[in-house]
A and B are shown apart, each in its own frame.
Chain A
Amino acid sequence: DVKVTQSSRYLVKRTGEKVFLECVQDMDHENMFWYRQDPGLGLRLIYFSYDVKMKEKGDIPEGYSVSREKKERFSLILESASTNQTSMYLCASSRTDPPQPQHFGDGTRLSIL
């Protein structure tokens, strides 16, 4: 069965810390995505990757970076965490073939104190 695994369900960090969120998929998908989910705003795309070492900015990339060294793993990095980055973070993956339904992980609820 399809599986997207996020390393942590809950995470608490302090302002200014460097934070790593990890995501692994076992479906050999080319595309991987990071979204953040906030009440009333739905899901907003932070970054995505369509191949190893390739990345593209999404709609809200400021304050974030990503890394994709292996096809199955996509990491989201908060360079210097701030309180406005407190949110639910969702990772997803998909194949390139249309219509591209995405498979999601269970999410990481990140709190920045």
Chain B
Amino acid sequence: GDSVTQMEGPVTLSEEAFLTINCTYTATGYPSLFWYVQYPGEGLQLLLKATKADDKGSNKGFEATYRKETTSFHLEKGSVQVSDSAVYFCALCSPDTGRRALTFGSGTRLQVQP
């Protein structure tokens, strides 16, 4: 079945540092890929998405590129802020399989220090 693997956290960075959170996946067909973010005490919010190979999703300074050859969708940001501290989830959806739900990675906690 489908699966998503994320790097374990927590990831601790200083403000303005470069961020990479790795995400790789196993899926049937051509899944859509997502990054969700969960701020403390809140539900998940969609951060960005990509629906086909080589697509780049971007939002709020975050970017991720759909790499089919390496089955990866790594999240990057050039300069993190304290307000980016949250848990980040990589997820996929494989409509080819008829499954409408998302398959999530285990989440990566990011802590940004001033």
Contact = CB atoms under 8 A, between A and B. Distances in A.
Interface of A: 4, 31, 33, 35, 40-45, 48, 50, 58, 90, 92, 94, 96, 98-107
B12 interface: no
Contacts of B45: 104
A102 B102 contact: yes
A45 B42 CA distance: 18
A101 B42 contact: no
Given A98-B32, A100-B32, A45 B101 contact: yes
B28 to A, nearest CB: 15
Contact of A98 (B4, B95, B101, B106): B95
Contact of A101 (B43, B49, B105): B49
Contacts of A43: 44, 89, 102, 104
A58 B102 CA distance: 11
A106 to B, nearest CB: 4
A91 to B, nearest CB: 8
Interface of B: 4, 32, 34, 36, 41-46, 49, 51, 89, 93, 95, 100-102, 104-107
B100 A50 contact: yes
A100 B95 contact: yes
A11 to B, nearest CB: 15
A59 to B, nearest CB: 9
Nearest to A6: B43
A46 to B, nearest CB: 10
Contacts of A33: 101
B6 to A, nearest CB: 8
A80 B53 CA distance: 45
Given A98-B51, A99-B51, A101-B49, A4 B101 contact: no
A33 B93 CA distance: 13
Contacts of A102: 46, 102
Nearest to A44: B104
Contacts of A48: 100-101
